[in-house]
Structure 1
Amino acid sequence: MNKSQIELIVRISETGSFTKAGEELHMTQPAVSRAVATIESQLGTKLIKRDKKNGLSFTDVGERILITFRTILSELQKVDELIVAEQGLEIGKVHIGAYRTACTRFIPKIIRTMESQYPGIEIKLSEGSVDQVKEWLRSKCIDVGIIIPPDKDFDTVPLIKDQLIVLMHSSHPLSQKETISIPDLQGEDILIGKCGYEVQIHALFNEYNLTPKVRFEMDYIETGLSMIQEGLGITITTKQNIWWLPDQVVVRELKPDTYRDINIAVLDMKDTSKATDAFIQTALTLFAQEDA
């Protein structure tokens, strides 16, 4: 098999479409179909399933082969980088995965800085949940991710410590306190954000032999803010997760000071490309160990 065939299969997985993959690679849809049939014939197995009801999906063996194909393309990229490095140039590709807050708070500044310092590096961004970013790392869909613990499956570099805060309605009795402790929240309706908050909040309550009275779980902080406005509960979040506050919602510090770690993650730090290294170093220069 050649690089073009491998790249075609990977592009189909990324776009979820023969037509879109063909457009990106300047191939017609019939040409893509013929190429896929040739690849499957060469391998002696079916990689892709297509039907009108469920659309396009990869077989089990196809998913495993995809990981190998992504590894091959990554290694070929490193060859290209080594060659141009001999000529004093800086090129490459880096595919970043990040959850919503990271995409809002960190990624734009990193990308702008990289485009200025490394104009030859192509940057791609995928936004998803923390769990999605971790799965993308495992399957090698992305080169580097911004995640929060637990992260035992990856090599990580600390990026920032994000301080936990408490949000509540301005009429809530606890709003009269300047700072809030976990025992203050015993029996209160708690709105828990997903993406790792639930694990840390339960751990905080466990330290006092308490159990949070969870009323709702939510994917987005905007949902929590709207619920607080309606007097439906209190939430614990982080400073970086808040860039605006609606009317009647107030912030109180959580004491003692408590932080959530935000990390840069790769599968293997010894096996990263120069483009990925450039991303990591840029991110660290801009944000490393800044206390939010």
Structure 2
Amino acid sequence: MDTTNLAAFLAIVDTGSFSEAGEKLFLTQPAVSKRIAALEDQLGTPVFDRIGRQATLNEAGKILLPRARQMMELVKGTRQEIINLNSDIKGPLSIATSHHIGLRRLPEILKTYTNQYPDVKLDIRFVDSEASYEMLNRGEIELGVITLSPTKQPNLLPKKLWHDPLVFMAAKDHPLTRLKKITAAQLSEYQAVLPGKNTFTYQIVQDLFDQEALQLQTAMSTNYLETLRMLASIGLAWSILPLTMQEDDLTVLDVRLKGASPARELGYILHPKRTLSNAAQAFVTLLESSKDNTLTQ
């Protein structure tokens, strides 16, 4: 079975349309259609239901999908093992990271890496940490440097690098700053600005409030922590942010909670069944050298 036809098939599944699949593969839409026609000719049956501009998997397509992913992974892994026989560190390296980690944790690592390995072509994708898990499962990236999921994610290998304490913060003139010891009930009386409900950070905050049977009042949400910091600093609401983001325009609130002090674990994720390129292995080595010495495993 032709791998170029399978690649077109998977691109349509991931994007939902022939035209977007063409953009992803740098092909024209007719070229994508031609590849799918060849695939369907090989199989002797259609694999998509075409309704308007949307393409959805039919029963044959649903059977093909997991096998297509396995075949493409096998080809990619075999190619990578052969390439790795040459010990040179060069070629493409696709990684995903969150905006916060990219701004606050990676600059020196990236600077060192590009100086040491100028022949590597870095492809850095700034996405929500949650999206990195999906991208890694689909084989779009080699690793993600992200906020690690509080719960175990199947098929992926997480590696902790940095313990990231979270603290409640508000502008210096916010009413909460006049209180010496703040209960969760008092905190719940004021609006918050927080990441979206689908994020790991929001889940941490929600769990703390659930333990005390309290409701969160969310004024607005964004997944960009730098934006949350700005909104809190102008007095719009309180927020919960990494301790490393505290500066003179924000006051750390002394909030007393029943649960453990909130924190995130930052690190990287790999797919244990995929062979890392030499470029990715070199990047992992640099990441490991930056690990917190106090981080518990």
Q: Give aligned-pair identity as a percent.
A: 23
**Which residue in 1 is equivalent to 2:217?**
214
SS in 2 for 1:157: strand
Per the TM alignment, residue 168 of structure 1 is displaced from its structure 2 partner at its CA by: 1.0
1:155 aligns with 2:153: no
**TM-score normalized with structure 1 length:** 0.72
CA change 1:19–1:94 in 2 (3 A) is same
List gaps (5 residues or longer) in structure 1: none
8 Å CA contact 1:164–1:254 kept in 2: the answer is: no
**Which residue in 2 is equivalent to 1:5?**
5
CA change 1:206–1:130 in 2 (3 A) is same
**Which residue in 1 is equivalent to 2:239?**
235
Query: Within 5 Å, which residues of 2 pair with 1:270-289?
Result: 270-274=273-277, 275-285=279-289, 287-289=290-292
Query: Within 5 Å, which residues of 2 pair with 1:141-290?
Result: 141-145=140-144, 146-153=146-153, 154-175=156-177, 185=187, 187-194=189-196, 195-205=199-209, 209=212, 211=214, 213-220=216-223, 221=225, 224-225=228-229, 227-228=231-232, 231-239=235-243, 242=245, 249-252=249-252, 258-268=262-272, 270-274=273-277, 275-285=279-289, 287-289=290-292
**Which residue in 1 is equivalent to 2:124?**
125
8 Å CA contact 2:49–2:58 kept in 1: the answer is: no
**Which residue in 2 is equivalent to 1:78?**
77
Distance across 2 between alignment mates of 1:259 and 1:44: 54
- The residue type equivalent to 2:31 in the other structure is A
Distance across 2 between alignment mates of 1:184 and 1:21: 51
- The residue type equivalent to 1:196 in the other structure is F
Aligned mate of 1:59, from 38, 57, 60 = 57
CA change 1:94–1:6 in 2 (3 A) is farther
SS in 1 for 2:5: helix
CA deviation vs aligned residue, 1:162-209 (integer Å, no higher than 9, x gap): 1212221221244357887757636443333232222212333466x4
CA change 1:40–1:105 in 2 (3 A) is farther
Per the TM alignment, residue 38 of structure 1 is displaced from its structure 2 partner at its CA by: 0.7
8 Å CA contact 1:93–1:123 kept in 2: the answer is: yes
- The residue type equivalent to 1:170 in the other structure is K
**TM-score normalized with structure 2 length:** 0.71
- The residue type equivalent to 1:163 in the other structure is P
8 Å CA contact 2:147–2:200 kept in 1: the answer is: no
CA change 1:16–1:282 in 2 (3 A) is farther
Distance across 2 between alignment mates of 1:108 and 1:66: 38
Distance across 1 between alignment mates of 2:229 and 2:69: 40
List gaps (5 residues or longer) in structure 2: none
- The residue type equivalent to 1:129 in the other structure is D
Per the TM alignment, residue 77 of structure 1 is displaced from its structure 2 partner at its CA by: 3.3
How many positions carry a matched residue from both structures?
Answer: 283
Per the TM alignment, residue 91 of structure 1 is displaced from its structure 2 partner at its CA by: 4.8
**Which residue in 1 is equivalent to 2:42?**
42
Per the TM alignment, residue 29 of structure 1 is displaced from its structure 2 partner at its CA by: 4.2
Per the TM alignment, residue 147 of structure 1 is displaced from its structure 2 partner at its CA by: 3.4
